[in-house]
Structure 1
Amino acid sequence: MQTLTAMDWLTIALLLVFGLLFLVAEVIFIPGTTVVGLVGFGLLAAGIWFSYRDLGAPTGHILLGSSTVAIGVLVYLGLRPRAINRVALTNVNHARVHDARHPDVQPGTTGRALSALRPAGTVLFDDDRREVTTRGEFVPAGTQVRVLGIEHNRIVVEGIA
């Protein structure tokens, strides 16, 4: 039988510890990368193989069993819904886009051009700023405008003299 040095014990212990740390990183901190998990599994397998080779079958069995239990606990803790919710997107976006098929600016509504309409620009209707367009004519800033209608999601206006 070989005499074991502290270096043999240290090598096996470091392989097992770093293998478990890499698996912890894979399951809890950066799930889905696979590379980190494979490296951790490889380090654990090497540590267990060295323990069987250098420390004998009984010690190898103990380290294999304890590593298996540690991995099982790690996977259980990492895959609980509470742990997954920390890294998963769970927010729901309830915002909605203004639907021009149901316009809040009706034909005939008047407003004031905030920018020059050449032919598109910004108009202030009451307290609402809207992007509008004309039928091709240019309207200077500050001019009163009237809504002619809604065409293809655009508010069409004309200048009021």
Structure 2
Amino acid sequence: MSAWILPLVLQIMAMFTVVAEVFLPSMGLLSIIALGFTGYSLFLVFRAFPVSAFYVVLGADLILLPVVFILGFKMLAVSPLSLKKNLSASQGVVSQSPDLKNYLDCTGHSISSLRPSGIALIGGVRLDVVTDGEFIEPDAPLRVCKVTGNQVIVCRRENI
């Protein structure tokens, strides 16, 4: 058997193991195995061939292994293992509650202490709220200053 066949087979096995790492959740175990294949292959090349051949194989590994890893992620995008469903608003998927905007400028009082998040009673409805960083004690009068996404931001109401 030629001296170059085993290192070549080990390099190919390392490439397949890197692709398998993308598809199989192994918590890095397959990456360690691929590193072992690559390391042993480099050791065999270093021992059997001139140093210049070792550097060529090392350079090829440093270029090809990340490329194979990226191509594995590209293959994952079109594989049956990936999520193909697009979630959109036309299908009824919403990322925020549309009725939270109705609470803007409403008043109420804090039920718990807001440091800066807590619970308040706004317009007769119990809501999770946050402040802009200030501490507000329980039963303090509040006003909804801003609604951002799913976050209701309140501030202390000075005029009672």
TM-score, L = length of structure 2: 0.45
TM-score, L = length of structure 1: 0.45
